[in-house]
Amino acid sequence: MSTKLYLGLDIGSISTKGVVIDAQNNIVASEYIWTEGDPIGAVKKLLPIFKEQLGGKDYSIAAVGVTGSARKLIGVITGAAIVKNEITAHAIGTISLYPNVRTIFEIGGQDSKIILIDNGFVTDYAMNTLCAAGTGAFLSSQAQRLGVKVEQFGEIALTSKRPTPIAARCTVFAESDLVHKAQMGHTKQDIIAGLCKAVVANYLNNVGKGKKITPPIVFQGGVSKNSGVIKAFEEAVENEITVDENSHLIGALGVAILARKTRAEDDFKFEIADIDFVTRGAECGKCSNNCEIICIYQDDKLIDAWGNKCEKGTIQK
Amino acid sequence: MTDVKATFPHLGNYFVPLEVLFTAGIEVDYIVPPPITNRTLELGTRHSPDFVCTPFKYNLGNYIESLEAGANTLVQVGGACRLDYYGELHEQILRDLGYDFRFVNIGSTKLTKPLTFYNILKEINPDMTLKNIARVLPVVLKMIQYIDEAEDFIRKNIGFERNPGEFDHTHQRFLLEMRSIRSKKELYNYYIKYMNIFKSIEVDKPKKPLRVGVIGEYYTIMVPFSNHFIEKELATMGIVIDRWMNLTNSVIHDFRPEAKEHIKNYVTFDMGATAMYTIDKALQFAKKGYDGIIHVKSFGCTPETDAIPVLQNISSDYKIPILYFSFDSQTSEIGIKTRLEAFYDMIIMRKEAV
């Protein structure tokens, strides 16, 4: 009898994450790649990698779960058993690894969130609004400006003895402050450490505002790989911060678990990597609202459409 | 009849009683602003100061579209916040754009002095008679009350209808036919008839459904387009939506003294506009054991921003989750969906655990 496995995909704005788990929630395959503005392409790239990682094992993918900002689109093309928002997915994933967790910090490419948990249940959460200050994308662009790889940020930050204070309210201010401080002669490691602190200050002042932060605290998302930010967090909240080795995959893990819980028996094949999917945008034009409707075609056949706000814009399949 | 074609910006479905007030009471033509669409908001945003609160932009968009539809007399009201400055600024912006119109700013009157109010209505139509307005006004006020009662019932049941769309269709018919009613008696019979229709719509309501209270700023809470149809979105998840804020509760009746008394443990001073009601209702929903509360406001609304720390205290005292939304003219749809879905997951998982 073949082993039943479950695929979880987390398609974010910057990166696409995927895990394959077994019935005991053990990760048997995982990968992290850049989305590069093409969620369908990223998923197509991801699937053969899983096939290779799973090798000659006798298995079947019984259910697929999808989360992240492209969840709806990828949910349709993979015929997912469950499509979940990333807040719930992150909470479920974290609770499966750390049942006692009380606070989850998550900083991704374009968004950041805080999730408060009590007795294994989400009691409150918040997500950044209107502004991507203090997220991964900001760190990446500043790394480029400083001529270092963002992956080395953490290491470099830890060598600093005197982090440069950098304005944390807004990335525009932070950036001009950073340029100014660099021209004044502050060292690169001090500036990088200062940036890590700024990210944390921004997070706690915006997303974390008014939330009671109780330990144990788990930190995840792409930015949790940055040891400079971890250190800045620990200093700011005066508590130990746990970062899982798979901290970048927790959303995918959570949605894989939710997929397993649907008890679906779908037998998903990785072959969709070879199927041609095309999306086309169209303006409804039936009223001055001009809803932008997205149509999804599979080998030139319309399989789904959305974007209309009223029934006038419904597209017949 | 005069050649006056009056208009007032959209607020919920109150264009129905307003139309009756203007046509039958003040005896002028009334132009119902075209329904709010993306174009309305685009027009309003293009010609507004960037940091003004969003309702100002919607109102301005309504004026422009009504002017295009032939309106020549624009009416605006005042209020206990920036709303009080809307009229002057709207008029100036529209004049600068080159439109030709009359602007009647009720905001410049003292509502406590009925005579000034009457005088300003006279400004819309000098031939208006006191007798006529005294005959029509009670019908208009009742209309507002009946619309509010019907919509309250709809919000609590629409999420459970067997045949999707039935409530919406009945609701539209209810509003459309109401426009021709001119007497209190006729209106009463009409209301009874429709409430029976609403109550006969088949629903599948569980014994203990999820209940969510919606609170927040005056305009954003009452204009579904401006809150991305949040109530409808929540209802389709199978939730009873409770919203106290409407014209009946805020303009026709004055509940401020009660509100102040209810919340005296949380608030000492009057915080302006709808902030006191927001806090009062949040506390009430919390005490009634609702599953969650959603707070909506336009970006930068000062009174509602001030209310948030108090809401956070209520949230932690009563262990009730509160989700905060701040809408402006460029809010992303997916961001709202994500938060709402997570909110639903959170309250249903909590409920199932109990």
Residues A168, A188 share a domain: yes
A286 touches chain B (CB under 8 A): no
Residues A215, A132 share a domain: yes
Question: What pLDDT is stored for residue A220 in this prediction?
Answer: 93
Percent of chain B past pLDDT 90, that is, above it, reads: 73
Q: In the predicted model, is pLDDT for residue B329 greater than 70?
A: yes
Chain B: give the shortest CA distance to residue A120, in Å: 10
A3 touches chain B (CB under 8 A): no
A-B Cβ pairs (cutoff 8 Å, strict) = 69
Question: What pLDDT is stored for residue B81 in this prediction?
Answer: 82
- Pairing state of beta strands A241-242 and B29-30? unpaired
Among A196, A226, A243, residue at a domain's last position: A243
More confident position, A92 or B128: A92
- A236-279 pLDDT, tens digit each: 999 999 999 999 999 999 999 999 998 878 788 777 777 888 88
Chain B: give the shortest CA distance to residue A55, in Å: 35
Residues A293, A264 share a domain: no
Residues A103, A15 share a domain: no
Question: What pLDDT is stored for residue A174 in this prediction?
Answer: 78
Question: What pLDDT is stored for residue B212 in this prediction?
Answer: 97
- A44-90 pLDDT, tens digit each: 899 889 888 988 778 888 899 999 988 998 998 888 899 999 999 99
Residues A299, A256 share a domain: no
Q: Region A163-167: what's the mean pLDDT?
A: 85
Q: Region B189-193: what's the mean pLDDT?
A: 96
- Please give the tally of structural domains in chain A: 3
Residues A74, A164 share a domain: no
Residues A217, A105 share a domain: yes
Between A198-207, B230-239, B282-291, the lowest mean confidence (pLDDT) is in A198-207
Closest CA to B225 of B71, B76, B329: B329
- B104-133 pLDDT, tens digit each: 988 776 666 667 777 888 888 888 888 888
Among A199, A220, A243, residue at a domain's last position: A243
User: pLDDT band at A151, cuts 50/70/90?
Assistant: confident
Please report residues of A whose CB lies closer than 8 A to that of B349: 121-122
B335/A127 touch (CB, cutoff 8 Å), yes or no = yes
User: pLDDT band at A131, cuts 50/70/90?
Assistant: low
A69 touches chain B (CB under 8 A): yes
For the record, the structure tokens of A61 come out as 């993918």
- B12-42 pLDDT, tens digit each: 999 999 999 999 999 999 999 999 998 999 9
Residues A23, A130 share a domain: no
Most B CBs within 10 A among A114, A128, A129, hence the mutation to make, goes to A129
B338/A288 touch (CB, cutoff 8 Å), yes or no = no
- A101-120 pLDDT, tens digit each: 999 999 988 888 999 998 88
Across the interface, of B165, B308, B342, the residue whose CB is closest to A85 is B342
CA–CA gap between residue B116 and residue B125 (Å, rounded): 14
A94 sits in which H/E element: helix A86-97
Q: Region B239-252: what's the mean pLDDT?
A: 92
Residues A49, A68 share a domain: yes
Residues A203, A134 share a domain: yes
Question: What pLDDT is stored for residue B82 in this prediction?
Answer: 84
Burial A293-315 (b: 16+ CB within 10 A, else e): bbbbeeeeeeebbbbbbeeebee
Q: What is the pTM of this model?
A: 0.87
| Ordered structural domains, chain B, with CATH | 5-128 (3.40.50), 132-205 (1.10.8), 208-354 (3.40.50.11900)
CA–CA gap between residue B336 and residue A71 (Å, rounded): 14
For residue A81, the enclosing domain spans 3-91+252-274
Q: Region B235-254: what's the mean pLDDT?
A: 91
Nearest residue on chain B to A67, judged by CA atoms?
Answer: B338
**Residues near A316 by beta carbon (within 8 Å), at least 6 away in sequence:** none
Between B154-163, B251-260, B284-293, the lowest mean confidence (pLDDT) is in B251-260
Please report residues of A whose CB lies closer than 8 A to that of B294: none
More confident position, A266 or B89: B89
Burial B40-58 (b: 16+ CB within 10 A, else e): bbebbbebbeeebbbbbbb
How much is the mean pLDDT over chain B?
91
Amino acid identity at B333: E
How much is the mean pLDDT over chain A?
87
Please report residues of A whose CB lies closer than 8 A to that of B37: 287-290
More confident position, B205 or B333: B205
Residues A113, A238 share a domain: yes
- B47-74 pLDDT, tens digit each: 999 889 999 999 999 999 999 999 999 9
Do residues B9 and B129 lie in contact, with contact meaning Cβ atoms separated by under 8 Å? no
CATH code: domain of residue A262: 3.30.420.40
Q: In the predicted model, is pLDDT for residue A133 greater than 70?
A: no
Question: What pLDDT is stored for residue A299 in this prediction?
Answer: 81
Question: What pLDDT is stored for residue A130 in this prediction?
Answer: 59
CA–CA gap between residue B224 and residue B239 (Å, rounded): 17
A87 touches chain B (CB under 8 A): yes
Residues A107, A205 share a domain: yes
Most B CBs within 10 A among A82, A121, A212, A310, hence the mutation to make, goes to A121
Q: Phi-psi region for residue A300, left (φ > 0), alpha (ψ -120 to 50) or beta?
A: left
Question: What pLDDT is stored for residue A129 in this prediction?
Answer: 65
Give me the sheet containing B29-30, strands edge to edge.
B29-30, B5-7, B73-76, B102-105
